[in-house]
């Protein structure tokens, strides 16, 4: 069983979602999330094959090539798979566990069984499309069993695995009833990549404490000095590869777009922006509460300040996501009710997915970007904002618990669990724009240099070169 693709990426989602209108017309729209944003340009560059789910149950259109030359190979998930594998094990067990229990993970045996089945199905599809000796790059927490299954089916393949979310400390990971199976699944890869050295260290510590595994070396960034050796002698390289963005994919800003947007907002002095998937890990409510308290204490003036919050719909049937959404929307309503005026809300809130070109105008228009997740693998929104401020304008408020804080340490860092800390960082950022313009610009320019130098191509090259070296 083998196909003719020498480079295959496999992720739970394809880079586009299939939509069927009430009149039966089918269209493809870009999928949400940082994984797709980062990988799309890499695949286009390599003209590879992308295996993934088309975003709706019970549909698997025939494989097709995108205009950019990427071969999309859809995998069908049934409604039962969607519930057990996607909403259940991936997003109600693993997601909260790997994000340090911001909500309590739920473990169900039926979900686990669906996760195993779906990983097997993905493996069968990959085995069918991958050429002899192909490079297969497996993405993220939904497919952690895939490397192990694939290695058994197709020992000729070179298998890389990259985790786009944090990897928790061994103490937390050990809650997982199927921890040994997940570790074994991952160790089917030749190279396992994480965003941060701290994530890689958590994984290596876990392996070191697992019977039958030996750990050699220490985790490094864009290096593979560390290895896990399994009981049958298979050596798995482990390293940190901080993901980044493709500045070009943000496009050119619309001529006059920023002025137009600011005029629509009522020409405020200060525009603050948040852009997130609507996820409880992102700390959207906390940032609204911090903003509300600054309005209450008159540290910020609602006549001259607006907050724009774009919240992309995500995983909407899962209870904790519904709760997060209703809390956010209640806070938006309350703040506008108290501090807005007719036709002049102080919080402009969208629960929509926006095209990149529009987002670019928002990023450019924002004086302060608020990125306050409780825990985040990297957070590419922070990097996108920085990429749009190569002139040194703007300021970034960034959670210490976002992976991006390791590289963007010139941001105004805050602890999102501490409202006073968010308030302090936001106020310092706002005041710095007028009060310390040179220092503010220096901070932004330093971050811009980092993002320009370490873009998504550097990330992909570093990972794929390390993977090639394991041959």
Distance of closest approach, residue 91 Cβ to ligand G6P, in angstroms? 6
Yes or no: say if 306 and 346 are a contact pair by the CB < 8 Å rule. yes
Give min distance, CB of 456 to ligand G6P, in A.
14
Tokens found for residue 73: 């190979």
Residues of this chain that bind ligand G6P (CB under 6 A): 12-13, 32-35, 140, 164-165, 314-315
What's the min distance (Å) between Cβ of 42 and ligand G6P? Answer: 15
Rounded CA gap, 378 and 395, in Å?
Answer: 18
211 — phi, psi (to 5°)?
Answer: -60, 140
In the complex, the smallest distance separating the C-beta of residue 380 from ligand G6P, rounded to whole angstroms, is 9
Tokens representing residue 173 in the block? 């990971």
Please, which residue, 140 or 407, has the CB nearer to ligand G6P?
140
Q: Which residue has the tokens 């540290």?
A: 299
CB of 207 to ligand G6P, least distance (A): 22
Residue showing tokens 């909407």? 316
CA trace torsion 370, 373, 376, 381 (10° rounding): -20
Q: Where are the alpha helices (DSSP H) in 174-217?
A: 179-186, 197-208
State the Cα–Cα distance between residues 5 and 302, nearest whole angstrom: 56
Closest separation in Å from C-beta 233 to ligand G6P: 32
In angstroms, give the least distance from the CB of 86 to ligand G6P.
7
Contact 351, 311 (CB under 8 A): yes
Q: What is the phi/psi pair of residue 155, to 5°?
A: -65, -15
Q: Quick check: 132 and 157 in contact, CB under 8 A?
A: no
Residue 247 vs 380, nearer CB to ligand G6P: 380
How remote is the C-alpha of 79 from its chain's centroid? Answer: 25
Which runs of consecutive H residues, i.e. helices, occur in 340-400? 356-365, 380-387
Q: Which residue is nearest to ligand G6P (CB)?
A: 33
């Amino acid at each position: 069983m083998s196909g003719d693709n020498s480079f295959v990426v496999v992720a739970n989602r394809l880079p586009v979602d299939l939509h069927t209108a009430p009149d039966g017309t089918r269209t493809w729209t870009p999928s949400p999330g940082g994984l797709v944003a980062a990988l799309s340009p890499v695949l286009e560059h390599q003209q590879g094959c992308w295996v993934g789910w088309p975003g709706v149950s019970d549909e698997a259109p025939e494989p097709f090539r995108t205009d950019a030359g990427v071969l999309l190979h859809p995998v069908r998930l049934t409604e039962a798979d969607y519930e057990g594998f996607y909403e259940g094990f991936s997003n109600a067990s693993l997601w909260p566990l790997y994000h340090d229990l911001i909500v309590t993970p739920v473990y169900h045996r039926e979900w686990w069984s669906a996760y195993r089945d779906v990983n097997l199905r993905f493996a069968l599809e990959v085995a069918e499309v991958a050429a002899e000796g192909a490079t297969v790059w497996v993405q993220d927490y939904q497919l952690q069993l895939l490397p192990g299954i694939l290695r058994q089916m197709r020992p000729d393949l070179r298998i890389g695995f990259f985790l786009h979310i944090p990897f928790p400390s061994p103490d937390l990971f050990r809650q997982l009833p199927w921890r040994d199976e997940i570790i074994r699944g991952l160790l089917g890869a030749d190279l396992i990549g994480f965003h941060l050295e701290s994530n890689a260290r958590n994984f290596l510590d876990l392996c070191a404490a697992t019977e039958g595994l030996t750990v050699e070396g220490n985790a490094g960034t864009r290096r593979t000095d560390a290895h896990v050796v399994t009981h049958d002698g298979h050596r798995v390289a482990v390293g940190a590869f901080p993901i980044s963005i493709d500045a070009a994919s943000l496009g050119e800003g619309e001529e006059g777009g920023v002025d137009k947007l600011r005029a629509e907002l009522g020409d405020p002095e200060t525009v603050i922006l948040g852009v997130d998937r609507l996820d409880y890990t992102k700390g959207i409510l906390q940032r609204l509460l911090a903003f509300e308290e600054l309005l209450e204490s008159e540290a910020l003036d609602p006549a001259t300040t607006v907050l724009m919050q774009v919240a992309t719909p995500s995983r909407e049937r899962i209870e904790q996501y519904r709760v997060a959404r209703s809390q956010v929307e209640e806070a938006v309503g309350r703040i506008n009710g108290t501090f807005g005026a007719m036709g002049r809300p102080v919080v402009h809130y969208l629960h929509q997915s926006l095209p990149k070109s529009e987002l670019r105008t928002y990023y450019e228009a924002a004086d302060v970007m608020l990125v306050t997740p409780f825990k985040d693998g990297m957070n590419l929104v922070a990097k996108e904002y920085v990429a749009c401020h190569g002139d040194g304008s703007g300021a970034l408020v960034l959670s210490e618990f976002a992976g991006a804080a390791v590289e963007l340490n010139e941001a105004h860092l805050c602890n999102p669990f501490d409202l006073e800390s968010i308030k302090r960082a936001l106020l310092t950022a706002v005041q710095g724009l007028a009060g310390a313009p040179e220092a503010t610009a220096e901070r932004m320019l330093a971050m811009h240099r980092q993002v320009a130098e370490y873009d998504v191509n550097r990330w992909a090259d570093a990972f794929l070169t390390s993977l090639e070296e394991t041959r």
